[in-house]
Structure 1
Amino acid sequence: MTEAPTLTLRLGSIAHGGHTVARHEGRVIFVRHGIPGELVAVRLTEHGDTAKFWRGDVIDVLEASEHRVPHFWAEGDALAQHDPVGGAEFGHIALEHQRELKSAVAAEQLSRLGGLKAGQFAFPAVQPVAGQADGLGWRTRMSYSVDSAGRLSMSGFRSNGLTAISSMPLAHPAIERLGLYQLDFTGIERVEAAVSSVDDDTVLILLAEGRQGAARKVARQFPEGVNVAAFSQRGGSAADGRGELQALSGRSWLQESVLGETFRITGEGFWQVHRAAATLLSERVLELAAPAQGEQVADLYAGAGLFSVPLANAVGETGRVFSIEGAPGTHADAKKNLRALPQATVIRGRVERVLRQVAREAQLDAVVLDPPRTGIDKQVAAELASSGVARICYVSCDPASFARDTARLISRGYELAHIEIHDLYPHTHHMESIGLFLRR
């Protein structure tokens, strides 16, 4: 096997996706695990004479940035691993500088893709989350692969190779205390772990079977009190969302609490990952969307109803909230979580189709949307504009799709009146944006 070539490069500006941009003989190279300004040795991971650009990983630091710190996790450290796993790609950067870099990425995306210009628009700084000085232990949801030896594993960036791990410092301490990394998961394809915000000791393990019957054998390794559920092979798997969810020990759901409201979240349902995210985002959405008594509001990509519940409380019994979600498991959670609120209508279906139907029967005053990382498509943007809704509160976990959708909404008669960005993913390149769009 031919060894990958290495280059000595001076790293340039930060780019979306966790890369810095370097140049070699006129060619652009996207480099991971560096910091702008550093002089580094880079091993090329993707290269070719006809490629538009190359990719590489830092393997040695010749001139370090003042913002470089020792990585807290050996498996994710490019200087310690040939193929470092993902999940903590900014772990070598001081937290404050991580946020400065993320702020620069957000501004660049909003300018280049969103069409917003410096001097005409105040680009926001990424805000830290209170109570997290070290940025560790925040993940209440974890997803692992399983290698051929039955060990919990993760893969590197754009890599199919699996590396067995012995810890994950970003995971909630209750997940780490289970000793998952010493268990044998033979016959399981993926393992999901979740911890409740109501009780830090209540954990749910979800096993996606690769071999029928394997989950029951694996479940016996867990101590009493740990909830274990499985996606059996019948009808699908956890990966495609069509598996049959079955409780093997305890229950297949967790209870969450936000702003005094209780939520039931099944193993297949979506919930915010950061331990502070559900409360923080709910508070900010309520303030920005400003739902009032008697108003009609649509919550798109509503998940288990995290925003739908407080929105329904805000509009009261004289108002209406339409909670729209496409995923079957998460939709079922929403029906349970909103069943005591007669002003809430829970609808499952494609967002653009349901939104069109809702807009025919209701004059929407506000829309809240929290789409997947890919953002909304052109059709959803068109339906929002056609509805005539005056206020749109957009929650986004990807600055590129948010910037692109900003341009789409601006072109359809809206203005971005407010944006804030929260560092809900410390030690990664991800960030959470909340924007308020007002109809001109």
Structure 2
Amino acid sequence: MSTRTSRAIQPAAAPAEGDQAGHTGQEAVLDVGPVAHGGHCVARHEGRVVFVRHAVPGEKVRVRLTDAGDDAKFWRADVIEVLDPSPDRVEHFWHVADSLRAWGHGHPPVGGAEFGHMTLAKQRSLKADVLAEQLTRLAGFEQVPSVWNGAVEPVGEADDGGTGLGWRTRASFSVTPGGRLGMHAHRSDYIVPVREMPLASEAINALRLWDLDLQGIDRVEVAAPANGSRPLVLLAPSPGTKDKRLRAIAAALPAEASVAAFDPLAGTVAQLRGRTWVQESAVGHDYRVTGEGFWQIHRDAPGTLVGAVTEFLHQGDYLNPGAVVADLYAGAGLFTAVMADAVGGTGSVLSVEGAPGTSRDARKNLHSSPQVEVVQGRVERVLRQKPRNFDALVLDPPRAGAGKAVVGQLVAAQPRAIAYVSCDPASFARDLGYFRRSGWGLAGLRAFDLYPHTHHLETVALLAPAP
């Protein structure tokens, strides 16, 4: 049974992923295989691997090839018609992210909701499959480690009613050539105009950014704290845009929003109206976060992750009054503040962050905790300069992970335990493999669905030297 036809597609309507020479733009019928890391499923066409987006394992689908050069090792494709649907397929909640609808109108779907065509239960099952595969393939486990229960745990269902919507407190948008709010298609320069963002909080959608004339702006970043404090809209101007134009756009925004101009390359923020920062709240602390400084985007992520980290460290007796600990890639100090509470005045916390602006935020946020030392710099350099006998480290690196060199430094520091927070199962599993080859073991692991309707997940692991 076909769920939707797609004959209106014109291959030249909107270039997807570069539209290379070769077979890009052509259609094919594929039997969809297992899920793969990155939001795709694996299929084969004439002996070649094809990574298919917007499918469900087990389906038969018609696809449009979106990256299919003759010399490519593998091809990419989007589903445009479902010939034999999975029982886990549902109607997508967002038309511009629905591959069937989008390609039916001659253009690719926006990225950022690539699992929205599946039930949430199926999404979590596939994310668990991906994590399990990365652990065996990259971390070197012969089978899924027994310290993980095999589940990706839901987060925030009490607030969203089980829909998986409205959880983003931060969002990033592009601007179409005509000056309208938009989002990029996956792996493409093509910008799709948007008039809603169902994954974003009501506070973000209430700004109605899609009603603005954004000519002269390249990018828009929005932060709307879950505590209801003042939202911040950041405008990245196009080269040559005058300050007068920026202030006109700021004046068109709701009065409750702060507005600032920012330079993504230089990391600078200039006030247009209100504040250049937002006040976030989590686990009994308030945090100042300037500009586009890092903060977890799911409204319940800070409490969820802090809870998992501290539970692991307390269970192992690594986080007590008087303990010596460190928070690496510390951001604005989310974990640092809670660790400072736990170690008390007789302990110490080293908080390390590489970004200068974010490190300044951490200093402001932690000024009342004398047991905390905030250091701005690269993790491996700081650990060499400030060797200590650590009881525990918290490691929360960017998506690329810590990497081999940093793992080597962490092992050399000889802490009693490390709590590793990761938003990417592949880089996490790779780093875990480095730890295991250095004589460390996996003592605990939990996985959380902090990004419903996307392929992303978050893990928290407890690592310790093998006995």
> TM-score, normalized by length of structure 1?
0.95
8 Å CA contact retained: 2:136, 2:144: no
Aligned residue for 2:49, secondary structure, equals strand
> Does 1:41 pair with 2:62?
yes
* Residue among 28, 37, 53 paired with 1:32: 53
Query: Alpha-carbon deviations, 1:266-304, whole Å to 9, x = none?
Result: 123211000000111111111112311111111100000
Query: Alpha-carbon deviations, 1:298-354, whole Å to 9, x = none?
Result: 110000000000001111111110000001111111000010000000000011111
8 Å CA contact retained: 1:268, 1:330: no
* Residue among 27, 34, 44 paired with 1:6: 27
Residue number in structure 1 paired with 2:421 = 395
Residue number in structure 1 paired with 2:117 = 92
* Residue among 164, 171, 174 paired with 2:203: 174
What amino acid is the match of 1:178?
L
Moved more, 126-135 or 417-426: 126-135
* Residue among 304, 317, 329 paired with 2:345: 317
TM superposition shift of 1:223 = 2.5
Residue number in structure 2 paired with 1:234 = none
* Residue among 189, 193, 207 paired with 1:160: 189
Residue number in structure 1 paired with 2:91 = 70
What amino acid is the match of 1:357?
Q
Aligned residue for 1:220, secondary structure, equals helix
Q: For residues 372 and 174 of structure 1, what CA distance do their matches in structure 2 show?
A: 26
What amino acid is the match of 1:429?
H
Q: For residues 119 and 148 of structure 1, what CA distance do their matches in structure 2 show?
A: 48
Q: For residues 145 and 291 of structure 2, what CA distance do their matches in structure 1 show?
A: 45
Aligned residue for 2:339, secondary structure, equals helix
Aligned residue for 1:168, secondary structure, equals coil
8 Å CA contact retained: 1:255, 1:264: yes
> Does 1:255 pair with 2:279?
yes
* Residue among 267, 274, 280 paired with 2:298: 274
* Residue among 257, 276, 288 paired with 1:226: 257
Residue number in structure 1 paired with 2:139 = 114
Query: Alpha-carbon deviations, 1:380-402, whole Å to 9, x = none?
Result: 11111111111000000000000
* Residue among 242, 250, 260 paired with 1:212: 242
Residue number in structure 1 paired with 2:361 = 333
Residue number in structure 1 paired with 2:155 = 129
8 Å CA contact retained: 1:289, 1:368: no
Q: For residues 204 and 60 of structure 1, what CA distance do their matches in structure 2 show?
A: 40
Indicate the RMSD between aligned Cα atoms, in angstroms.
Answer: 1.3
8 Å CA contact retained: 2:280, 2:289: yes
Q: Which runs of 5+ in 2 are unaligned?
A: 1-10, 13-23
TM superposition shift of 1:119 = 6.5
8 Å CA contact retained: 1:265, 1:271: yes
Superposed structure 1 runs of 4+ greater than 6 Å apart: none
* Residue among 43, 54, 57 paired with 1:22: 43
What amino acid is the match of 1:150?
G
Aligned residue for 2:346, secondary structure, equals coil
Residue number in structure 2 paired with 1:142 = 171
Aligned residue for 2:195, secondary structure, equals coil
What amino acid is the match of 1:180?
L
TM superposition shift of 1:122 = 5.3
TM superposition shift of 1:212 = 3.4
* Residue among 350, 371, 380 paired with 2:406: 380
* Residue among 251, 256, 269 paired with 1:245: 269
Aligned residues: 430
Residue number in structure 2 paired with 1:345 = 373
8 Å CA contact retained: 1:113, 1:403: yes
Q: For residues 146 and 42 of structure 1, what CA distance do their matches in structure 2 show?
A: 28
Aligned residue for 2:168, secondary structure, equals coil
8 Å CA contact retained: 2:345, 2:371: yes
What amino acid is the match of 1:169?
P
8 Å CA contact retained: 2:132, 2:144: no
Q: Cα 1:255–1:282, aligned 2, differ >3 Å: closer, same or farther? A: same
> Does 1:421 pair with 2:442?
no
8 Å CA contact retained: 1:102, 1:431: yes
Report % sequence identity: 51
TM superposition shift of 1:48 = 2.8
What amino acid is the match of 1:400?
A
Aligned residue for 1:406, secondary structure, equals helix
